[in-house]
Amino acid sequence: MERLLDQYLAAVPLRDFQWTNVEALTEEVQQKMLDEVVRSPLAVSHSPSPAYQAAFLKKLMAKVEAYEGTIVEGIYELYAQLLSTPTSEQQGYSWRSYHLHNGDYVSLMESPYLISYGTTGLTTWQAALRFVEWVSSPQISTLFHSKRVLELGCGLGLTGLALCKLCSPSSLCFSDTHPRVLHCLRGNVEHNSPSSSGVSTEVVQLDWGSQEDISSFLTSHTLDYIIATDVVYDVPTINSFVSCLVQLLRCNPGAVAVVTSTIRNTDTYQHFMQTTHKAGLACTVVDLSNTRRHFYYDHSQTIELLELKLT
């Protein structure tokens, strides 16, 4: 049931949902799924959207019917209840909870839409999940232990929050620029309470194209690491992103930037690589082949993790 629970809490798209090792869907097994997955404590307190819950139950009922079994009454009742939920209550934000390698969870309020309010920052992207898998390994997590970290374009905060829970940096500064993203981010950081484990955190507005934002940040912060995930997808923003990286690295000798990207468009990614080279950054591609997969997402897409330093 744990594999089903992890996928359900993370609202894994049902087309990608892995039902492997699910026992014959007897009434006893169905009741167990209802109690231990759909009605589990975390699923109740941090529930996926009503639309996702209904789709999950519909898929489960279809599987029971294919098994030629009898659907338990509790599933029917909950499904009918979800279908009667007003449309207005199905929109907006809902929870996704990600089960980390150490057993802890990161729970985030997300928008169910890939692009919301003119920003892509209200959804968690695949490169963030791959980065978290990378830092889950003991030999990598120690790199960030007691270090000062800035995350650029952190969106809803999965990467930084997971880093806090897995690696115990001394400080982590979450940054983004869109007002709605920052509002949701502050709530997610507060909800997951990384400061309770001794990590100093803050949320700041940092526009890569704003020299005022960058200068103000540099006057009050010292860094060991700069991280960013899934920010390389738009050619017009690449120059300002790389320029911001260069300024941050110049003012923090010895600091390292770690940029993780899903390569959706090879021309865009090539432009990014050329821009980093022209800016005097040395890029090292990190081998992820031995990094254990932990989350449920589309593994067919190419994700690359780079370490960048000033030459």
Q: Mind listing the pLDDT tens digit for each residue in 214-248?
A: 999 999 999 999 999 999 988 999 999 999 999 99
* pLDDT classification of 123: cutoffs 50, 70, 90: low
Q: What is the pTM of this model?
A: 0.90
Lowest-confidence segment of 65-74, 95-104, 108-117, 239-248 by average pLDDT: 108-117
Give pLDDT, residue 115.
38
Average pLDDT taken over every residue of the chain? 90
Checking if the pLDDT of 87 tops 70, the result is no
Q: What does the H/E/C string look like for the chain?
A: CHHHHHHHHCCCCCCCCCCCCCCCCCHHHHHHHHHHHHCCHHHHHCCCCHHHHHHHHHHHHHHHHHCCCCCCHHHHHHHHHHHCCCHHHHCCCEEEEEECCCCCEEEEEECCCCCECCECCCCCCHHHHHHHHHHCCHHHHHHHCCCEEEECCCCCCHHHHHHHHHHCCCEEEEEECCHHHHHHHHHHHHHHCHHHHCCEEEEEECCCCCHHHHHHHHHHCCCCEEEEECCCCCHHHHHHHHHHHHHHHHCCCCCEEEEEEECCCHHHHHHHHHHHHHCCEEEEECCCCCCCCCCCCCCCCCEEEEEEEEC
Checking if the pLDDT of 125 tops 50, the result is yes
Lowest-confidence segment of 59-68, 70-79, 132-141, 211-220 by average pLDDT: 59-68
Checking if the pLDDT of 119 tops 50, the result is no
Q: What is the mean pLDDT of residues 281-285?
A: 97
**Per CATH, is 112-310 categorized as 3.40.50.150?**
yes
Checking if the pLDDT of 206 tops 50, the result is yes
Give pLDDT, residue 112.
60
